[in-house]
Structure 1
Amino acid sequence: MGVRHRPRRFHGLADALGILSAAYTGLALSTPTQRARYATISEQGLDWDSVPMRLFQKAKRLGTWDPQAIDFSREVSDWAGFDATEKDFLLRTVALFQAGEEGVTSELLPLIMAVADEGRIEEEIFLTSFLWEEAKHVEFFRRWLDVIGVHEDLEKFMTPSYRRLFVVELPAAMDALKTDHSTEAQIRASVTYNMIVEGVLAETGYHGFRESLEASGKMPGLLEGIRLVSRDESRHIRYGVFLLDRLINESPVGWDVMNRHMNELLAPAMGVISEFWEGYDEENAPFGQRMETYLDFASTQFDKRMKVLERDRGKSLAEIERAAIADLVADDAAVGAAG
């Protein structure tokens, strides 16, 4: 099983000079990449009505919350009131989110580069907000852990299925984009990142937090952060569906690549959930929760993503854009009605 390593440290001046010399030699021998054009000063400009630019406008309105501003004043006293099993449940959930958010933050750059190299400036612009928001999610979960005084190594909570997805599948799919910008490689990356990690696992995790804590009114700071993180991720998933729709539209084998990879990763995704519950007594589970409801919720999220992709299969890019914009308008209307 692959393990991601930290960058090597310098061991003395000679080592450092040797690495710098090799890097300089490589730069001197390489041919500089030249930008062919600047889209925003051409007749093209920016497509303000495109899906990614609409998402970017939403990100500017809704994604500027500050993890440091969330009120955690009740977290310590609420934490002290939980029993050992409840603490384990919350800590296990947050640990998997913390590692996952660090993972998706670290792994997003190759997709941004692939999109940028294709000259898709609107998507590149949106993805800058996407990356910034993921970094804030890392900050939020780590701040919560620090507030309640947890400084131990939490890697023990990473189960085999979790490791397969976050230590093997996610880095492999995203790292492949460093050398392969093919439509098929981008499909595999988006399926792994947007559909499975964000669209199935993260969505199920948010549901778990709400089901466990909302009724009791406990951990209001954690729940507020989850609400904000979930709102950010809804934009990320919307982009991921649009990206997959576009990529499938571009390749005669795109649907088959997507469908195969979605189904390949469904088993480890469900395994993350079932393995999470292995340490709990089903008849006396923390917060009255049951594994079956989590598995059902995750399965529903998977089916929701597939239904949208099936709806848009065979459509032109213009039709895909119109359908995605209609979805965004419906999202806004639903939020307005709820508010």
Structure 2
Amino acid sequence: MQFLSDNAAAVHPTVWEALKAADSPDSPYDGDALSAALDERFAQVFDKPCTVLWTATGTAANCLALATMVQPHGAVVCHEDAHIEVDEGGAPGFFLHGAKLMLCEGAGAKLSPRAIRDMIDPIRNDVHQVQPHAISITQASEYGCSYRPAEVEAIAALASERGLGLHMDGARFANAVAFLDCAPAAAAGPVDALSFGFIKNGGLGAEAIVFFDQNLADVARYRRKRAGHLQSKGRFLAAQLHALLEGDVWLHNARHANAAAQEIAQACDGRLLYPVEANELFMRCTLAERETLRERGFGFYDWGEDAARFVTAWNTREEDALSLAKAIASL
């Protein structure tokens, strides 16, 4: 009974079917019909024009998006626990040719306008100090906390006021939309670019970079090729995105994962470190208690010395979630 990561979840059956259907000759790279149809497909999701580029990994999606906004001498303002800081192996520095990450604090791994101002206001506007060029926020955050639409709007207003780009890491964007029960456009807010995650939500190997600024998309096409991420048979990546968007499979999958997380959360009885607002749970748990859970057949990650992280997925079985809930309650 695995709760290690939604990255390890099975591929959704509709994706396999879509991949088989795409296995016929078409134009290479992103010149195929499926890739060409992505802009209109995502415009329907967000109810506004956008330009969509596929890529194979979330790290590439984040870094290619940010590379369109940030010059090598600039910086990205992000949370100190942001994925681009903690879990991408220095990829931002590589893709952004040495640009800096400016790290802020914030409850639940979420940024606030005040935290951003506290970081950037003391910076002198001269060549001797690195200047911020963009802000990156994560929806849902690295601790499974979802930004409310008003929170995104406030950060977007600050970004606009200061002339900064705004990027959203949406590795678990579907889970945030499902939790907030709002339109995708409201959960994304007025960002310039969104890394829309699909792999954690039933995809095989495709993520979407959704640009709401056409000029940024034009730059990203060249950067994607230069970075080695323009795949020859792009129709297979586009097919995955279409399959999960069709009939709102992406939302159905996210709602299932969120519901499983809520089932487990009810048994945590004051142990939770953060509110459960997506499909991740962070729980106080001693070493002996973690050993007990593992002996009972549950897989999960340790989170520091006295905590554990559990992640549910689109295919988490209800009986497994209930079993974990009962096991936690009995500790």
- The TM-score normalised by the length of structure 2 is 0.26
Question: Which protein shows a greater Rg?
Answer: 1
The structure in which a higher percent of residues are helix is 1
